[in-house]
Chains A and B, each alone.
Chain A
């Protein structure tokens, strides 16, 4: 069993390939614990493969992934789903119920919650994502952004200690991005482990305390968002760019790395003062 101080996810020298001789992950060792962690990197860097190892969809070729102290090889994906929830990038890959409420209740029911509990959890998750009033709608009658939020709600309702979001902000307008950011913040404050794959650097800068930069199957950097975005060369090597406001601050020679517009304004005003 996991001790209280043990990280909920431990990756130990994880290697993986889909085709022998063509490694996708080349020895990843890291711990993931409470808080918000963003995984960034170019397409093909191994980000999606890595998160699929965390919930047992894939098993390491070498090394091991421990979830709550247990090797993922010893558990089925359905068993791991009690601990690790994964929201897929494309909502069409999972929506199948004819009502939004039923769709969101699907996960909690699979975990063994009673129908009443599952309903309460589903309604709470939908409310948190601003989807109240859509409970009886067919998910396929909703727009892409709302469908994506329904898939987030469906995993949120499962109440797993670990939540992985794969590109959650794609197709979202500002309202949707704000709601997702608020959820990340709340879950992180509540001591849950939130892991997000994203190319949205502004979303990362605003909501994630820790950033993992993946490149060519390895972790190129593992640090705070501030430290990562302060290194343009590192980001360039990984095919990334800091958010525009951060680059503007760097171009103006601000002493600290600013991650948000609010921080930028504050830094400029402090400079003027």
Chain B
């Protein structure tokens, strides 16, 4: 079972170090708010899609886009109907009238949503969570914080698998888990009891196992893997920062 959305690959984006991809994501989100116009938002979306496409993860990104389409659609409908500045009718469906001004506002909001999502997906789809955590810890973040993040990522699929086994064990003792709401509610305690107890025991044992391996020792830990930063990472960072600078300049100097 896999919790993270990471898609393995060997593209130039995959080979970038996590901090560069983190920078790209942060700048992407920053530019989303710096460029509120339709043109600026569209240009940013094209750039982000180009990065995702070159990483070979557009198919996975598409699944996420479809998932949030209902939110984007809601922006369009609500703004198209009730935006206070609505004046020019754009679409009439029987008694329902959508206005141009509201639809444009909704479109800008939807673009903003997809831009934030796309920028985040550069990190989520193309960066393994453990690599990101390790990169952050290398730069001074607390190893405890790193462990907590990784533990949370790991414990959820583990708990899901355990819950399934517990359910099987209780059904094997005649517990009916299928049927009416009451039947399902009655099955809740026999499943949750061992799950919670087991998780607490596992957490304690994991903490003990960490302690006996020197987790609380003083000094900075070393790392199992060498951090590999490709030569083009510097260029990628410069281009990313340049994009941010261009966005700032465009917003305040050119009125984008």
Knowing A78-B176, A106-B190 touch, does A93 contact B165 (C-beta < 8 A)? yes
User: How far does the alpha carbon of A92 sit from the alpha carbon of B158 in the complex, in Å?
Assistant: 14
Interface size class of A (residues with CB under 8 A): 20 to 34
Q: Are B197 and A85 in contact (CB under 8 A)?
A: no
B172 interface residue (CB < 8 Å to A): yes
| A207–chain B nearest beta-carbon distance, Å | 22
**Complex: chain A residue closest to B166, CB-CB:** A93
Q: Are B174 and A78 in contact (CB under 8 A)?
A: yes
A264 interface residue (CB < 8 Å to B): no
Interface residues of A in 56-90 (CB under 8 A from B): 57, 76-78, 81-82, 84-86, 88, 90
Q: Are B201 and A88 in contact (CB under 8 A)?
A: no
Q: Which of B174, B177, B193, B201 is within 8 Å of A111, CB to CB?
A: B174
Q: Are B178 and A76 in contact (CB under 8 A)?
A: yes
Total interface residues on B, using CB and 8 Å? Answer: 22
From B173, B177, B197, name the one whose CB has the most chain A CB atoms within 10 angstroms. Answer: B173
User: How far does the alpha carbon of A78 sit from the alpha carbon of B174 in the complex, in Å?
Assistant: 4
A180 cross-chain contacts in B, Cβ below 8 A: none
User: How far does the alpha carbon of A92 sit from the alpha carbon of B200 in the complex, in Å?
Assistant: 11
**Complex: chain B residue closest to A112, CB-CB:** B174
A94 cross-chain contacts in B, Cβ below 8 A: 166, 169-170, 173, 194
Knowing A93-B165, A93-B166, A96-B189 touch, does A107 contact B194 (C-beta < 8 A)? no
| A163–chain B nearest beta-carbon distance, Å | 11
A196 interface residue (CB < 8 Å to B): no
**Complex: chain B residue closest to A55, CB-CB:** B172
A6 interface residue (CB < 8 Å to B): no
Interface residues of B in 129-173 (CB under 8 A from A): 162, 165-166, 168-173
User: How far does the alpha carbon of A84 sit from the alpha carbon of B171 in the complex, in Å?
Assistant: 11
Knowing A78-B177, A93-B166, A94-B166 touch, does A57 contact B171 (C-beta < 8 A)? yes
Q: Are A57 and B172 in contact (CB under 8 A)?
A: yes
Q: Which of B171, B174, B175, B189 is within 8 Å of A82, CB to CB?
A: B174
A206 interface residue (CB < 8 Å to B): no
B177 cross-chain contacts in A, Cβ below 8 A: 78
B221 cross-chain contacts in A, Cβ below 8 A: none
Q: Which of B168, B173, B178, B198 is within 8 Å of A110, CB to CB?
A: B173
**Complex: chain B residue closest to A98, CB-CB:** B193
| B198–chain A nearest beta-carbon distance, Å | 5
Q: Which of A76, A92, A106, A140 is within 8 Å of B173, CB to CB?
A: A106
A93 cross-chain contacts in B, Cβ below 8 A: 162, 165-166, 168-169, 194, 198
Q: Which of B171, B189, B197 is within 8 Å of A77, CB to CB?
A: B171
B178 cross-chain contacts in A, Cβ below 8 A: 76, 78
User: How far does the alpha carbon of A81 sit from the alpha carbon of B171 in the complex, in Å?
Assistant: 8
A10 interface residue (CB < 8 Å to B): no
Q: Are B173 and A96 in contact (CB under 8 A)?
A: no
**Complex: chain B residue closest to A56, CB-CB:** B171
A158 interface residue (CB < 8 Å to B): yes
User: How far does the alpha carbon of A111 sit from the alpha carbon of B172 in the complex, in Å?
Assistant: 11
Knowing A88-B165, A94-B166, A96-B193 touch, does A77 contact B198 (C-beta < 8 A)? no
Interface residues of B in 103-141 (CB under 8 A from A): none
Q: Are A85 and B176 in contact (CB under 8 A)?
A: no
**Complex: chain A residue closest to B165, CB-CB:** A93
A186 interface residue (CB < 8 Å to B): no
Q: Which of A76, A84, A90 is within 8 Å of B176, CB to CB?
A: A76
Q: Are B173 and A155 in contact (CB under 8 A)?
A: yes
User: How far does the alpha carbon of A145 sit from the alpha carbon of B180 in the complex, in Å?
Assistant: 37
| B167–chain A nearest beta-carbon distance, Å | 9
From B169, B176, B197, name the one whose CB has the most chain A CB atoms within 10 angstroms. Answer: B169
A129 interface residue (CB < 8 Å to B): no
| B253–chain A nearest beta-carbon distance, Å | 57
A189 interface residue (CB < 8 Å to B): no
Q: Are A52 and B197 in contact (CB under 8 A)?
A: no
A193 interface residue (CB < 8 Å to B): no
**Complex: chain B residue closest to A85, CB-CB:** B172
From B168, B172, B175, name the one whose CB has the most chain A CB atoms within 10 angstroms. Answer: B172
| B150–chain A nearest beta-carbon distance, Å | 23
Q: Are B190 and A78 in contact (CB under 8 A)?
A: no
User: How far does the alpha carbon of A195 sit from the alpha carbon of B178 in the complex, in Å?
Assistant: 27
| A65–chain B nearest beta-carbon distance, Å | 15
Q: Are A96 and B172 in contact (CB under 8 A)?
A: no
Q: Are B174 and A96 in contact (CB under 8 A)?
A: no
A-B contact pairs, 6 of them (CB 8 A): A92-B197, A92-B201, A93-B162, A94-B169, A97-B193, A106-B190
Q: Which 9 A-B pairs have the closest CB atoms?
A: A96-B193, A110-B174, A81-B174, A94-B169, A77-B171, A107-B173, A86-B172, A78-B176, A93-B169
Further contacts, 10 of them, CB under 8 A, given A52-B168, A96-B193, A106-B173: A76-B176, A78-B178, A85-B172, A85-B173, A93-B194, A95-B194, A95-B197, A106-B190, A107-B174, A110-B173
